[in-house]
Amino acid sequence: MSAQRLVDAVIFDYGGVLTGPVRDSIAAWIESDGIDPASFSRTLKAWLSRDAPDGTPIHRLETGQLSVTEFDALLAAELTTVHGDPVHPVGVLGRLFAGLRPDPEMFALARSLRDLGARVGMLSNSWGNTYPRDRIDALLDPVVISGEVGLRKPLAPIYHLMLKRLGLRAERVLFVDDAEPNLAGARAVGMRALLHTDAATTRTAIAELIPGLTPQRQE
């Protein structure tokens, strides 16, 4: 472990980092609603593309230009059930994220970092998610959510906004996300970046940057 603190702040993504894997919630929704997985995969791939000149429905949802109700209708129109039936549009996103739960190990890591004097924040692309704001706001500062600021990862302005709110140099900030494109965006503005796979691995990696953080959670 380094004897010198190498970062002064750790910024976490929400879905898939401070929660369990998003893919697990999606899989449960696909199963319970009888969604044809191929129709969802095809739509997700197209809508995550960065080549659309005016942005995709996902991009517009993330920046608040598209409401959840409007997005639900657009997404349902692209999907079919395994029986070839249309998908009812009301509440699609709510059901898609219904299985998403906060990860207690990651929240414990955030508390440990704060107790060591590090700044701990959150940077999240919102898909109309319902965030546990009381819990988040009591622990994390700053909190930057794409739909609230009209900016989105992996574009540079949202990282610059986070750095401005932190008042720190980019190289003193570590960004933790479960999506490599978002990490690439952070690196492009000079931030450190860490790919999250699970709480234990992330804690061990951060312990190399912040002395005093134990690689294993202490009960």
Q: SS3 sequence, 45-94?
A: HHHCCCCCCCCCHHHHHHCCCCCHHHHHHHHHHHCEECCCCECCCCCHHH
61/106 same-domain check: no
**CATH number (domain holding residue 167):** 3.40.50.1000
190 in a structural domain? yes
Q: In the listed set 51, 72, 96, which residue is the last one of a domain according to the structure? A: 96
Q: What's the confidence (pLDDT) of residue 86?
A: 95
The residue ranges of the chain whose pLDDT is under 50 are 1-2
Q: What's the confidence (pLDDT) of residue 128?
A: 84
| Predicted model pTM | 0.94
Provide the domain count of the chain. Answer: 2
Nearest to 197, CA basis, from 184, 210, 183, 187: 183
214 in a structural domain? no
Q: What's the confidence (pLDDT) of residue 1?
A: 42
The Cα 159–Cα 24 span in angstroms is: 28
13/33 same-domain check: no
Q: What's the confidence (pLDDT) of residue 36?
A: 98
- Domain of 45 in residue numbering reads as 23-96
92/45 same-domain check: yes
The Cα 104–Cα 33 span in angstroms is: 28
